[in-house]
Amino acid sequence: MAAKNDIFFRKLFEETHAKAFNFLKALSKDENVAGEITQIAFVKIWKNIDKFKKHPNPQVLVRITVKNTFLDEIRKQNRMNALPVFIEENEHLHQTMVDPIENDQNTGEACTAVHCAIKKLPERIQRIYTLHQFEELSPVEIADTLQLSVTTVRTNLETAKFFLKRELKNFGT
């Protein structure tokens, strides 16, 4: 079975890799970025090779995977660029990012408040939020891990952020 997967993947790769790379190069205007995203996309394809084998037109699925991988990487980059703004806008949460070894009373109170607020979330949302914030998994990785849709993961993350922002808005003022 593995040999058939290898042959199918190799054939699919040979038929679509150059087109995928050129598409991403045109979108990103950067050969290095296109190469990295193409590689990420084909790793995803390999991991889901059975789905591609069953599809009536696997080349279409490759195009969709390549496009979605590009969008995921752009979103990830936007999140990284937005992080300093988020920290600045949510200064009251900054105390939770301080080294926990410090014995500062405010730090302890902030950690306790954040921990208590997270514990108020429904169990599934707690798990998703914890994987995202503390284990630094992307929504796609969380979806794969928990066998959920990416949309469900993103919705749950937004719910958690909204809830925690509301819960902690008066903390530290």
pLDDT tens digits, 22-40:
999 998 888 999 999 999 9
- pLDDT tens digits, 47-74: 999 999 998 999 999 999 999 999 888 8
**Looking at the structure, do residues 143 and 166 belong to the same domain, yes or no?**
yes
**Looking at the structure, do residues 171 and 109 belong to the same domain, yes or no?**
yes
**Looking at the structure, do residues 4 and 75 belong to the same domain, yes or no?**
yes
**Looking at the structure, do residues 66 and 94 belong to the same domain, yes or no?**
no
- Please report the pLDDT score of residue 99 as a whole number: 43
* Domain count across the chain: 2
The pairs formed by 129-132 with CB atoms below 8 angstroms and a separation of 24 or more are: 129/156, 129/157, 129/160, 129/161, 129/164, 132/157
**Looking at the structure, do residues 72 and 126 belong to the same domain, yes or no?**
no
**Looking at the structure, do residues 80 and 139 belong to the same domain, yes or no?**
no
Domain containing residue 48: 1-84
- Please report the pLDDT score of residue 133 as a whole number: 83
The pairs formed by 88-95 with CB atoms below 8 angstroms and a separation of 24 or more are: 90/165, 91/172, 92/168, 92/169, 92/171, 92/172, 92/173, 93/168, 95/172
The whole-chain average pLDDT of the chain stands at 81
Which residue positions in the chain have pLDDT lower than 70?
1, 79-111, 170-173
**Looking at the structure, do residues 137 and 167 belong to the same domain, yes or no?**
yes
